[in-house]
Each structure stands twice: as structure tokens, then as C-alpha cells.
């Protein structure tokens, strides 16, 4: 097993130095932080961060949320037909789909100028807005159904190009949901909470996250060391926190800052 210790001004600097020395990527190693370091005051009391980086042996890889890539054409056909493991990539890097979507100033102003507000108007305007974004992405066949339960409005999208609406790790879908939330609340009389889904992606994602969380917790307890998961959005971290909340042999907490905030599963001795 190949491993080295490195120091740096920050933990990230130490990790980067070790990765360069080993000639590997972050996904190919486990990282043990020995000392987070200290900045000190006016140069006094400063202390370098220290880490130990160990190359993962091929026979015992640490599972990753993004581990296997799928051909885009296969993914479009299969995304909404079968449950995929959390390690599968929903849209590979090679797919030319937008990672971020932003609402234009013209549309914001147009919405603000409207006087008529109602839940029905909010839903129809949001459907139209999402449809127009989809067309801008080259998706002409999107259909949208909705359900309302009090302040909660769920929109369900269907398309032959479902993978493009979802995006890698759900990034495009999350961006669309944020925009839908804005549009709905410009037209509705009271504040609404919007949930956007493509097929049953979110349900399958949550199920896979729950299974993944249990596996990682078991591995943390078995190995006697904490497991650092890949960065994920807050609602996915909440799923893992929730599913593991009743276990007495581990604790979970988040570290880092968005969008690179990640969850740690640590065994309790």
C-alpha cells in the first residue's frame, strides 16, 4: 500500500502536494487529516496542516457516488426504466448539457409587471417557462404534469431526452427547480414550495442514497475509521443524515462549503 505524509499552508494545499507526488487523482486515494493547521496571529503561532494520503488498492476500492460512466444514448433509454445504483453517472461529462441555468432579467421584469396572481396562474406560467427552457436546450417533447397539496406544488416532467433534464448528479434538474420556485412565487398569492422531478428520478435517487449510506456506515464501523463521501447538495445530505440518525454506532456531520460541502460518517468507539 503506497502512502505519503505531506504538510502545507492549508489542508487542501497538503492534499494537492501529495496527489502530485503520487501521480493520482483524489478519487484514487483515502485522506487522513492529521492536523488542520493554524494561521496564527501576525505570523506567530502558525502551524502547517498535515495529511496522510494513501493510494487505494485495486482490490478494495472506496465506493464513490460517481464511479461508472454510461453511454448517453443508453442512458436516455434506461434512465426512467430501471433503478440505477448511486455510483452510476446519469449524464457523462461528454454530454453537452448546461450545468447551470440562470433566469434572465427580462423574464423577472415580465413576471413582476403582472397584476393577476393565483395558484392556477402560477402553475401555468411555470409550466410555460420550463417548457421554453427545455426548448432552448433542444428538448421539444417535454410534457409536464402537476399535483398540489396545500403550499406544496410538484411538477413531473417527461421526455425522451430525460437525461439532459436531469443532468450530472441532478444538477440541471436542481437548477430548473430553483427557477420554477421563483416563477411560482411571482404569480401565487401565498408562498409555495416547489418540487421538480423527471419521471421518478428523485425517488430512485433517494432509495439509492439510503442503500449507499448504510453500506458506507457499515464500512466505517468495520474499518474503524471515518468515511468522507463525495460532495452533494443539501437535500441529499439530509437523506443520508436521516437514514443513519437511528444508528448508535456512527455519527454523521457535514464539512466544507457549498458547492463542495460533503458528509462524513464517523464510527463511535
Mean pLDDT calculated for residue range 181-206: 92
Residue 259's pLDDT band, with cuts at 50, 70 and 90, is confident
Q: Are 72 and 92 in contact (CB under 8 A)?
A: yes
Residue-wise over 207-220: b if at least 16 C-beta within 10 A, else e?
ebbbebbeebbeeb
Query: H-helix or E-strand containing 214?
Result: helix 201-223
Look up residue 102 and give its three cell numbers: 440562470
Q: Residues 131-140: pLDDT tens digits?
A: 999 999 999 9
Average pLDDT over residues 164-174: 88
Over the chain, what is the mean pLDDT? 78
Q: Classify domain 203-267 at the CATH topology level.
A: Ribosomal Protein S8; Chain: A, domain 1 (3.30.1370)
Q: Any idea which fold 72-199 has? A: GMP Synthetase; Chain A, domain 3 (3.30.300)
- Please classify residue 126 by burial: count the beta carbons closer than 10 Å to its beta carbon, then call 0-12 exposed, 13-18 middle and 19+ buried: buried
Q: Is 66 a residue whose pLDDT tops 80?
A: no
- Whole-model pTM? 0.53
Question: Matching CATH topology for 72-199 and 203-267?
Answer: no
Query: Residue 164: what pLDDT?
Result: 92
Angstrom distance (rounded) from CA 16 to CA 9: 11
Counted residue by residue, the chain has a size of: 269
CA distance 63 to 215: 9
What is the pLDDT, as a whole number, of residue 115? Answer: 54
pLDDT (0 to 100) of residue 21: 83
Sign of CA dihedral 182, 183, 184, 190: positive
Which has the higher per-residue pLDDT, 29 or 267?
267
Q: What is the pLDDT of residue 31?
A: 85
Q: Higher pLDDT residue, 263 or 107? A: 263
Report pLDDT digits (tens) over 9-62. Answer: 888 888 888 888 888 888 788 888 887 777 654 445 567 888 888 888 654 444
Residue predicted with more confidence, 1 or 84: 1
Q: How does strand 49-55 pair with strand 3-8?
A: antiparallel
* Domain boundaries along the sequence of the chain: 3-55, 72-199, 203-267
Q: What are the E-state strand segments in the chain?
A: 3-8, 29-35, 49-55, 143-149, 152-158, 193-198, 227-228, 250-255, 262-267
72-130 per-position pLDDT tens digit: 333 333 433 333 333 333 333 334 444 444 444 444 444 444 557 899 999 999 999 99
Residue 140, pLDDT score: 94
Q: Where are the beta strands (DSSP E) in 136-269?
A: 143-149, 152-158, 193-198, 227-228, 250-255, 262-267
Q: Helix, strand, or coil here: 76?
A: helix
157 forms beta bridges with 144, 198
Amino acid at each position: 500500500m503506497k502512502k505519503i505524509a505531506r504538510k502545507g499552508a492549508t489542508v487542501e494545499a497538503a492534499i494537492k502536494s501529495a496527489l502530485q507526488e503520487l501521480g493520482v487523482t483524489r478519487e484514487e486515494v483515502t485522506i487522513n487529516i492529521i492536523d488542520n493547521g493554524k494561521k496564527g496571529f501576525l505570523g506567530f503561532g502558525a502551524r502547517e496542516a498535515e495529511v496522510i494520503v494513501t493510494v487505494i488498492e485495486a482490490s478494495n476500492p472506496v465506493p464513490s457516488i460517481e464511479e461508472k460512466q454510461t453511454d448517453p444514448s443508453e442512458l436516455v433509454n434506461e434512465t426512467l426504466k430501471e433503478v440505477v445504483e448511486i455510483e452510476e453517472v446519469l449524464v457523462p461529462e461528454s454530454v453537452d448539457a448546461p450545468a447551470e441555468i440562470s433566469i434572465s432579467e427580462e423574464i423577472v421584469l415580465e413576471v413582476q409587471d403582472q397584476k393577476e396572481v393565483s395558484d392556477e396562474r402560477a402553475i401555468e406560467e411555470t409550466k410555460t417557462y420550463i417548457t421554453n427552457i427545455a426548448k432552448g436546450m433542444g428538448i421539444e417533447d417535454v410534457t409536464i404534469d402537476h399535483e398540489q397539496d396545500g403550499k406544496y406544488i410538484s411538477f413531473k416532467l417527461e421526455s425522451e431526452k430525460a437525461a439532459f433534464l436531469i443532468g450530472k448528479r441532478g444538477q440541471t434538474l436542481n437548477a430548473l427547480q430553483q427557477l420554477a420556485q421563483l416563477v411560482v412565487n411571482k404569480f401565487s398569492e401565498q408562498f409555495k414550495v416547489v418540487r421538480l422531478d423527471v419521471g421518478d428520478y428523485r425517488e430512485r435517487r433517494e432509495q439509492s442514497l439510503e442503500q449507499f449510506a448504510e453500506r458506507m456506515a457499515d464500512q466505517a464501523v468495520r474499518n474503524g475509521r471515518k468515511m468522507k463521501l463525495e460532495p452533494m447538495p443539501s437535500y441529499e445530505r439530509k437523506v443520508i443524515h436521516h437514514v443513519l440518525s437511528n444508528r448508535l454506532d456512527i455519527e454523521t456531520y457535514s464539512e466544507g462549503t457549498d458547492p463542495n460541502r460533503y458528509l462524513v460518517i464517523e464510527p463511535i468507539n
